Chain A
């Protein structure tokens, strides 16, 4: 199974409301077995991260399978209860760990 990072496992809520981040889920659940699910709020709308796999592929890099099955590499930083991503187009968006 993909290499995961224990500190990333859990449920995350998106706190960025930028236009470029609209494709990404409002709630992201990263599981220890390398699977994830993403969900918009309210549920049902399209999100680029809907379900699939995630793995940490290098320092500050995470590979996530997307809605059309392409696997894309994102940059990420993690600090405390915050998880920040940067997509290949430079869009930055941040999640807060769900209590």
Chain B
């Protein structure tokens, strides 16, 4: 999707930049590999920084980004006046930006009869026996029903009120220094049973404003007028963040006596871990464990459906997305599992509510069943749980997917891909395209009681776009932390190595540093929260590419501290860093990814804690790290606090040295900077190369 502000516009909005550390000869005029910091080499090439007038202070600027998760939205068209729509927009954050989609439901109206005039008659009056008649032509009052309460989180709307899928084509991909952004979207009108009409393209100039009462995050609320393609204002849109999840649902699990409850794969993968990755808040309720079999051990589809209706908890699918899983001993129609509730023509005319799995099917004692051959299915926790997730995936509207060994592939196909080791080769996740479907399909394709199984499609209506992505085969990205453990408050440095392990030459970016514009990623903290990082300066010009021969590698480094969502390493504990290199070849994004873990150690004392807090809570610290300018007062102060602390000092020494070395104002540069780079200084490979250059320059000055 188009970015709200392209890099050139962004740079134009920045104050003039100081020059950077003097570049080694090979970097002059063409950035060389080995530059690790998201700084200004690329920017200053082709731009002429203006000198700062003495004493001029630049106002601090703050970056705003669109928070990931679910937003409660309201769209009020100008006409007709008695129509308003409530719904949700789901904003997915990834290293390439944001992908979003939404749904609208028409709010019900309330018809109120005006109060009748009171007629008081004396007892005995001849007219007392007459029934008072209302005036013949009194129109009822028409009111909107109550809006959803944002304090309740993700709202659930009545199915019959479903009206539109919002295919979002433009939004704020990363961040802005402004107060809003343009939201672009198509409105796809839905009519039963599965007809979709595109009513046109719209834009809304969304502006952050304070949320009304009840929203859990008052700062993540926006409003804007909606314009049609002719530029006419046709309505108003509000959106307020209500949850970090995209959708929420309940799974009720019942079993017959003797059937295992499928709760995990025996190795830590649970319903929660699976659906947290999807972005669904899935509440699992184990209910009855002795549902009586109607006709022996093996169940027909009709018997499964009847048992669901008879034994599940009270259900209102207009206030709760509730799915039902029944584990029985055997199934009539298939060995392992089935989503029997395919159409709206069963006994309750509601599709995709229920699934069944069998615990007493015996896995054949032959190839390709690997290490679980001969086992009873319910006793083989991994494939049994996988089948349960697979069947729920069908209830969520997904079809089979053989692109990888993820949940929606079939058990047979997976087993045949690794006949000696099955189930070790199961991928415990949904395939990427299925993840997108679960996050961005129209509600009616995923919610129980929506469209019938087989109706869901990514083309009718077209699902919200993301960049076309192709995983780059034959390339491996190795991510190696410079230090396995860093103290709280320190930036984390990682070295990158991109290797061509295939047999063919590959065209890849020449540089992997953050300033090249090809690298982004995520950091997952000990609580499971994931934050993205990307270059805060995009590529300005055509970035150099190169051909990587088979067996050849290129290296670079990253220094990570903050992203648009805040500090990347905000707490002590293990953090997972995932780095993604993404570049474009003829309109198709090619991607290669690598991960590493790093341990953040707790504060050693009060002074360390205070310095860490200062640097972690200062948004300008990243800019100071990246841009190195004196005008970033808060950031420079924060880094100064870190330098004053003996624990953090080695981790910030290079950053400060780089700032001091900038030819900026009257300060004498290199010598002072060089003193900071003693043996204790923590530096990435690329920083070490730059430091050597810095020392050389200082020595030359001294001479």
Contact = CB atoms under 8 A, between A and B. Distances in A.
**Binding partners A and B:** yes
Interface of A: 1, 23, 33-35, 37, 44-46, 48, 50-53, 65, 67-72
8 contacts: A46-B454, A46-B455, A51-B409, A51-B410, A52-B410, A52-B413, A68-B338, A68-B340
B445 to A, nearest CB: 11
B365 interface: no
Interface in B306-343: 333-340, 342
B471 interface: no
Given A33-B416, A46-B455, A68-B453, 17 more contacts: A1-B366, A35-B416, A37-B402, A44-B458, A46-B454, A51-B400, A65-B410, A67-B394, A67-B399, A68-B340, A69-B336, A69-B410, A70-B333, A70-B334, A71-B334, A71-B335, A72-B333
Contacts of A23: 454
A57 B421 CA distance: 29
Given A51-B413, A68-B338, A68-B342, A44 B457 contact: yes
Nearest to B364: A1
Contact of A70 (B340, B410, B456): B340
A34 B368 CA distance: 12
Given A33-B416, A53-B410, A68 B455 contact: no
Contacts of B456: 46
B402 A71 contact: no
Contacts of A46: 399, 454-457
B457 A45 contact: yes
Nearest to B391: A69
B338 A70 contact: yes
Main secondary structure of the interface of B (DSSP, over half): loop
A33 B391 CA distance: 24
A45 B402 CA distance: 15
B301 to A, nearest CB: 7
A65 to B, nearest CB: 7
A44 B458 CA distance: 8
Nearest to B454: A46
Given A33-B416, A37-B402, A46-B456, A68 B394 contact: yes
A13 B340 CA distance: 29
State which size class the interface on B falls in: 20 to 34
A69 B394 contact: yes
A50 to B, nearest CB: 4
Contacts, number: 67
A99 to B, nearest CB: 24
Nearest to B342: A68
B676 to A, nearest CB: 58
B680 interface: no
> Which of A44, A45, A69, A71 is the most central at the interface, judged by chain B CB atoms within 10 Å of its CB?
A69
User: Ordered nearest first, which 7 A-B pairs have the shortest CB separation?
Assistant: A51-B400, A70-B333, A46-B454, A50-B400, A68-B339, A69-B338, A71-B334
B412 interface: yes
B459 interface: yes
Interface in B430-478: 453-459
Contacts of A52: 400, 410, 412-413
Nearest to B398: A67
Contact of A35 (B301, B412, B459): B412
A13 to B, nearest CB: 19
Contacts of A72: 333
Contacts of B412: 34-35, 52-53, 65
B459 A44 contact: yes
A67 B400 contact: yes
Contacts of B401: 51
B301 A70 contact: yes
A90 B402 CA distance: 29
Given A68-B453, A70-B338, A50 B416 contact: no
A69 B394 CA distance: 9
Interface in B255-272: none
Contact of B454 (A44, A53, A65, A67): A67
Interface in B359-378: 366-368
B512 to A, nearest CB: 34
A46 B400 CA distance: 10
A33 B419 CA distance: 12
Nearest to A53: B412
Interface string B385-418: 0000011001000011110000001101100100
Contacts of B334: 65, 69-71
A70 B336 CA distance: 10
B337 A69 contact: yes
A51 B394 CA distance: 13
A37 B402 CA distance: 9
Contacts of B338: 68-70
Interface string B264-301: 00000000000000000000000000000000000001
A71 B337 CA distance: 11
Nearest to B394: A68
Contacts of A1: 366-368
Contacts of B453: 67-68
B399 A50 contact: yes
Contacts of A53: 410, 412
Contacts of B416: 33, 35
A70 B356 CA distance: 11
B457 A69 contact: no
A72 B340 CA distance: 13
